[in-house]
């Protein structure tokens, strides 16, 4: 881990529809730090502010005083900071992918970012091909398909391909794999994890699925009512089921089983958070 956080957020506040009768307070002083090469999860009940906070990570929403968002050493409150450069480094796949696709053809949509960067055609085509194959959209089959004719899951994949085509250093997925069938989903997540492990791609996952979090991230922030209310390693967070419940959340089912066994007086050496760990602990209990 490098000494300087890649993303640093201090005392971030955000209100939608500010100074109107419909004003909504979405963030009430959020602090977060994410380091290069980490895989971090953000969980929280609906409306907690997860999507609002991640939209600050790439300058889609600019911070408001006194809040600070510093990305790779650049303070996003400074109007001179070029957010296009930031967006190339920090890729965000929206919760609603249809908000992210705007070209008529899938291939053009995926090529949009590289084109904007002024990349020449041969390299652009390579990037697009790589990104589409990486998300599991066959290049020849999908490049000339109409974006609007894609299924929900395919749209999510296309939106992700558009972001990956920029070779970001950090990728944020805001519930971006829901609606993708389980098999292509696990293939996709497997490829992202491989990029994380082999090339140091920093990952941020926003997901309501605790099982996913346990498999994918090392560290978790829990948000509630516009604040980051808990943070710790995945295991630390999931060893506090009562606190999570107060924030409207649960733990992975395998962890729940372990907590129930402990409450019944059975010794569980290490609380499992993944199925694999659960199997290991079950063997230990059966053989004791």
Ligand X SMILES: Nc1ncnc2c1ncn2[C@@H]1O[C@H](COP(=O)(O)OP(=O)(O)OP(=O)(O)O)[C@@H](O)[C@H]1O
Binding site for Mg ion (CB under 5 A): 50-51, 95
Name the binder of 163 from Mg ion, ligand X, none, CB < 5-8 A by kind: none
Name the binder of 24 from Mg ion, ligand X, none, CB < 5-8 A by kind: ligand X
99 is a site residue for ligand X (CB under 6 A) = no
- The Cα 107–Cα 120 span in angstroms is 15
95 is a site residue for ligand X (CB under 6 A) = yes
Three-class SS of the chain: CCCCCCEEEEEEEEEECCCCCCCEEEEEEEEEEECCCCEEEEEECCCCCHHHHHHHHCCCCCCCCCCEEEECCEECCCCCCCHHHHHHHEEEECCCHHHCCCCCEHHHHHHHHHHHCCCCHHHHHHHHHHHHHHHCCCHHHHCCCEHHHCCHHHHHHHHHHHHHCCCCCEEEEECCCCCCCHHHHHHHHHHHHHHHHHHCCEEEEECCCHHHHHHHCCEEEEEECCEEEEEEEHHHHHCCHHHHHHCCCCCCHHHHHHHHHHHCCCCCCCCCCCHHHHHHHHHHHHHC
228 is a site residue for ligand X (CB under 6 A) = no
- Residue 16 or 102 having the CB closest to ligand X: 16
- Residue 220 or 273 having the CB closest to Mg ion: 220
50 is a site residue for ligand X (CB under 6 A) = yes
In the set 47, 232, 248, 250, which binds ligand X (CB under 6 A)? 47
In the set 4, 18, 24, 190, which binds ligand X (CB under 6 A)? 24
Name the binder of 196 from ligand X, Mg ion, none, CB < 5-8 A by kind: none
- Residue 26 or 150 having the CB closest to ligand X: 26
Name the binder of 16 from ligand X, Mg ion, none, CB < 5-8 A by kind: ligand X
In the set 20, 46, 99, 288, which binds ligand X (CB under 6 A)? 46
135 is a site residue for ligand X (CB under 6 A) = no
Q: Which stretch binds ligand X (CB under 6 A): 48-56, 65-73, 140-148, 164-172?
A: 48-56
Which residues would be at the binding site for ligand X (CB under 6 A)?
16-17, 24, 26, 44, 46-52, 95
């Amino acid at each position: 881990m490098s000494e300087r956080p890649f993303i640093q957020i201090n005392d971030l506040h955000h209100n939608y529809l500010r100074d109107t009768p419909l004003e909504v307070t979405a963030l009430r002083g959020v602090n977060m730090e994410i380091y290069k090469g980490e895989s971090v999860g953000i969980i929280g009940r609906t409306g907690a502010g997860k999507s609002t906070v991640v939209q600050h990570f790439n300058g889609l929403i600019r911070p408001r005083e006194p809040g600070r968002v510093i990305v790779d050493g650049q303070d996003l409150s400074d109007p001179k900071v070029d957010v296009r450069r930031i967006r190339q480094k920090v890729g965000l796949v929206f919760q609603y992918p249809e908000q992210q696709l705007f070209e008529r053809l899938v291939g053009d949509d995926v090529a949009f970012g590289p084109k904007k960067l002024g990349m020449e055609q041969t390299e652009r085509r390579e990037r697009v091909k790589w990104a589409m194959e990486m998300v599991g959209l066959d290049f020849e089959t999908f490049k000339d398909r109409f974006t609007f004719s894609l299924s929900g899951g395919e749209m999510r994949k296309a939106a992700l391909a558009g972001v990956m085509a920029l070779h970001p250093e950090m990728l944020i997925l805001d519930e971006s794999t829901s609606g993708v069938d389980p098999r292509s989903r696990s293939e996709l997540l497997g490829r992202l994890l491989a990029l994380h492990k082999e090339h140091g791609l920093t990952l941020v996952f926003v997901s309501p699925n605790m099982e996913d979090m346990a498999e994918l991230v090392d560290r978790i922030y829990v948000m509630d009512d516009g604040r980051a209310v808990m943070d710790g390693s995945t295991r630390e967070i999931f060893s506090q089921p009562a606190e999570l419940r107060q924030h409207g959340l649960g733990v992975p089912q395998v962890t729940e089983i372990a907590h129930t066994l402990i409450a019944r007086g059975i010794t569980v050496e290490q609380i499992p958070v993944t199925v694999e760990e659960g199997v290991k602990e079950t063997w230990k209990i059966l053989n004791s």
